[in-house]
Amino acid sequence: MKFMQSRIFVIGFLILGSLMLSLTMVRSGLTYTYGMGFWGPNGHDGIWHIALSESLVRESLGMPIFSGERLKNYHIGFDLFVSFLHKVTGIPIVNIYFQLMPVLIAFGIGFGTFYFVYKWKGLGASFWSLFFSFFGGSFGYLVSLYRSRTLDGESVFWSQQAVSTLVNPPFALSLVIMLTVLIILERKLYIKRHFFLFLIILIGLSVQIKVYSGILILGALFMTGIYKYLLNRDFTYLRIWLFSIILAIFFFMPLNRGSSSLIFIKPFWFLETMMILTDRVGWMRYGEAMINYKSAQNFLKMTPAYFLAFLIFIIGNMGTRLLAIGNLKRFDIKKIYPISMILFLIIVGGIFLPTFFLQKGTPWNTIQFFYYSNYFTGIYAGIYIDKFLSQKRNKYRNIFAVFLIVIATIPTTYSTLKNHYLTKNPPSMLSRGEIEALKFLSEQPKGIVFTYPFDNIAALEAERSAPRPLYLYTSTAYVSAFSKNHVFLEDEINLDIMGYDWGKRKIEIIKFYDSLDHKFVWNFLRENNIDYIYWVKPQRARLGEEQLGIEKIYENSEVEIFGVK
């Protein structure tokens, strides 16, 4: 189709697609009549990144949501970049995170995809690769249509889709890094010394941007390097890998010495939960049968049952990107193009790793490996569609094929935006009263803030109201994020993910709030170096200000802040 071969058309599509991708972010973090709104997972994940970035601005590697502990088992590259931009520009971190970075990264992904595929396979292929990078979706809407007559269901098969790329900013930035690496490799720019140095720095840094991307690109480079060396004694890719892995270890180890203990083998967990959980595929009888066959070691029935579940997982998540298999053909092992091999290995690695490994605390985190499989399969799907449409076929047959591809691809993108990011009210917010109180606290001498523990029961009772205040939404890092201080304990979700033993501290906090022992509560605040207490009315301890040894330093209609004497 000739108009898709127009450079102006493709560049225009790149710009519009980048703006569309940004819609999941740019409305969050702005102030409305009710306060500051947060759409989608931004009410938790976005708040965490703001808290961490604010902590890094203060040149602290302390854990902002677990005072007294050092940051560990986390990749901080994205947050360092946000804090750097704040220092250079003076733009508030909340606006850098929600308004500036999404647009820049979305355009970076779009331009990187366009330039890489255009130089590799041509203009038509670059258009279709862009299409999948912006609009690629799962077949989850088929499950939702069957169950509830809706087009929802982006992550029914577990993996997020293209529309949600930016709600995981480290993942989004890692795609820009990976595309830059691929462009340097494809154009053989590494021949020049400065590009070689730039290449290994990018690959080394990838583990601090998003560790999953670092594992995949380093693994793919190593395997490609072995292949090239065995084929014709070409040491180039192994040399790139060797320097990169040394740099990656240097960047990774200081904050991640114990991270290997967070990963454990658990084959087929995603397949089992996909079939059983009602918010996924929810084919409970089939899922239970799979697990029973596995428990009984009935391999005759277990093997086909798990294989079918695996096919559902792959087909459901990939959607129309599965057209990429059209590129498969008989090939000569001695003529495999290195870039093709790297992409293939990334795709296979992204499927293999979550199939067999989980993460402690939040087991489903390893599904993020699969995000890269989805993305790069989309590039191959774009290449195949361009080949298909370029053949001498009936014009109307091609138009019909394009129509089917588009209609089958975009429903989850449409429904995710419509139902989760373009609604009038967000699911969570920070009220104007809390904004004012936290601003006041941010202007005080830095110290440790003590808050009320997250109340699951109260949060469940408020579930139907929208927007919900953050303290009734989920356990988040919002006090740390907007007070620009470290907090004694908040955001239990991320503490779990990073492997902190926070349960004992939570028990002590509950004991503090329930205690009538004057000596215990007095000592508790001082032994833990608490400087401020932040309470949303009517949050309180059982004992009063006199017994606690605190004095009120701020109050409005919603919040009280106390200083510890």
Helix axes 368-390, 299-318, angle to 10 degrees: 70
Q: Domains in the chain, please, with CATH?
A: 2-43+74-263+313-421 (no CATH), 428-564 (3.40.50)
Angle made by CA atoms 160, 478, 499, in degrees to the nearest 5: 65
Q: Which residues of 39-53 are buried (b: 16+ CB within 10 A; e: fewer)?
A: bbbbbbbbbbbbbbb
- The parts of the chain modelled with pLDDT lower than 50 are none
Q: What's the confidence (pLDDT) of residue 4?
A: 57
Distances (CA, A) of 3 to 6, 10, 12, 124, 162: 5, 9, 12, 9, 24
Alpha carbon dihedral 184, 186, 190, 194, in 10-degree steps, equals -20
Instruction: Collect all residues with Cβ–Cβ distance below 8 Å to 37 and sequence separation of at least 6.
Output: 27, 28, 29, 30, 425, 426, 428, 429, 467
Q: What's the confidence (pLDDT) of residue 1?
A: 54
Q: What's the confidence (pLDDT) of residue 363?
A: 85
Q: Which residues pair with 37 in a beta bridge?
A: 429
How far apart, in whole angstroms, are the C-alpha atoms of residue 130 and residue 372?
15
Q: What's the confidence (pLDDT) of residue 521?
A: 94
Helix axes 169-186, 368-390, angle to 10 degrees: 50
35 sits in the region (left: phi over 0; alpha: psi -120 to 50; else beta) called: left
Q: What's the confidence (pLDDT) of residue 331?
A: 58
Q: What's the confidence (pLDDT) of residue 276?
A: 94
Distances (CA, A) of 483 to 95, 133, 330, 368, 429: 16, 37, 60, 31, 16
Q: What's the confidence (pLDDT) of residue 398?
A: 86
Residue 519 carries which side chain, given as an amino acid letter? Answer: K
